[in-house]
Amino acid sequence: MYPMILRRILLSAALVLAVSVVIFCGVNALPGDFAATYLGQSATPQAIANMRAELGLDRPATLRYFEWLGNAISGDFGKSWSSGAVISEQIGQRLGNTLFLAAAAAVIAVPLSIVCGMLAVLYRNRWPDKLISVVSLTAISLPEFFVGYLLILVFSVQFGVSSFPSTVYDGMDFSQRIAAIVLPTVTLVFGIFAHMMRMTRAAILQVMTSAYMETAELKGIAPFVAIWRHAAPNALAPIINVVALNLAYLVVGVVVVEVVFVYPGMGQYMVDAVTMRDMPVVQACGLVFSAIFIFLNMLADILSIALNPKLRHPR
């Protein structure tokens, strides 16, 4: 098992390296120029050229990439072109906010989707199963920005619920932050609940056809107890995979939700940097998001290997 895990780690590191190349090339291919945007329309060509030289944009792209990658590996992403702030410090604060929001959504979405998936199996082809399927299909069909604006319209505008503010600020204490992330959390849960629930249902249904489940039924074990004690543990590998993928989506896919709720996280930070053509910030955010996504996928792969004897002993 250990050589397989080591292989997954090495492949993940190689993938992060490949993604860094894509991010650097993609960011540098973006239309527009920071020097021209920062100096304004009245800037002379000489002033733009001087600023480009000051920022190092006149150097070869290959040299700039290896310098950026070497600094990024050591945790130094440089300084923001627009504000002059240290990017690593900004990312540390913003990433904490994003992880806080993603963790709150995961604490609700993961148990809810697993329980609903087991209930759908327990009452399969009956009205609870059909109701859960309808709700999940509705949830997966609505885009997150629509759900977010709808929640703001209903709770913050129409009903004026002051305990559910539509924006979040860094100066809030813990209780205020919990109240402030209710609407963003509900939006994220609405987006990932359906996928996890349906995959949980499919994984458990596949196990239900096994001979030992038929034996448990013949012994008179209660259906939900049989699902909880026997079917669910043997369906852990695909369930863990889909949970890890959705957790990765929570961290990486919060950009839209953060913009809708003006949440001071990584997504809002990256969108503001794209608007300003602040390439060091965009590159840093893209690399951090990619590394988190790849790490969680690698973790799901390793957990699947550890929990599935067929994967541990392929022969």
Quick one: tokens of 31? 């239309």
Quick one: tokens of 277? 């053509």
171: three-class secondary structure by DSSP: coil
pLDDT at 14: 93
Nearest-angstrom CA–CA distance, 116 and 133: 10
- Where exactly are the structural domains of the chain? 87-312
Average pLDDT, the chain: 81
Amino acid (one-letter) located at 313? H
pLDDT at 308: 64
Mean pLDDT of 119-146: 84
Q: Is the pTM of this model over 0.85?
A: no
Q: Classify each residue of 6-21 as buried b or exposed e, where b means 16 or more C-beta atoms within 10 Å of its C-beta.
A: eebeeebeebbeebbe
Q: Which of 3-17, 166-180, 257-271 has the lowest mean pLDDT?
A: 166-180
Mean pLDDT of 124-153: 84
Identify the band that residue 265 occupies on the pLDDT scale cut at 50, 70 and 90: confident
* Angle of helix 127-141 versus helix 182-208 axis, rounded to 10: 130
In this model, does residue 166 exceed pLDDT 70?
no
Neighbours of 111 (CB within 10 A): 10
Which residues touch 9 (CB under 8 Å, ≥6 apart)? 298
Which residues touch 292 (CB under 8 Å, ≥6 apart)? 248, 251, 252
Nearest-angstrom CA–CA distance, 57 and 211: 66
Higher pLDDT: 311 or 136? It is 136
How confident is the model over 41-89, as pLDDT tens digits? 677 778 777 877 877 777 788 888 898 888 888 888 888 887 788 888 8
pLDDT at 264: 83
- Which string of DSSP letters, residue by residue, matches 236-255? HHHHHHHHHHHHHHHHHTTH
Which residues touch 169 (CB under 8 Å, ≥6 apart)? 180, 264
Amino acid (one-letter) located at 88? S
Number of residues that make up the chain: 315
Higher pLDDT: 10 or 51? It is 10
> In degrees rounded to 5, what are phi and psi of residue 103?
-65, -40
- Cα torsion 216, 117, 182, 106: sign: positive
pLDDT at 161: 62
Instruction: Say if domain 87-312 classifies as CATH 1.10.3720.10.
Output: yes
Neighbours of 234 (CB within 10 A): 16
Mean pLDDT of 217-227: 79
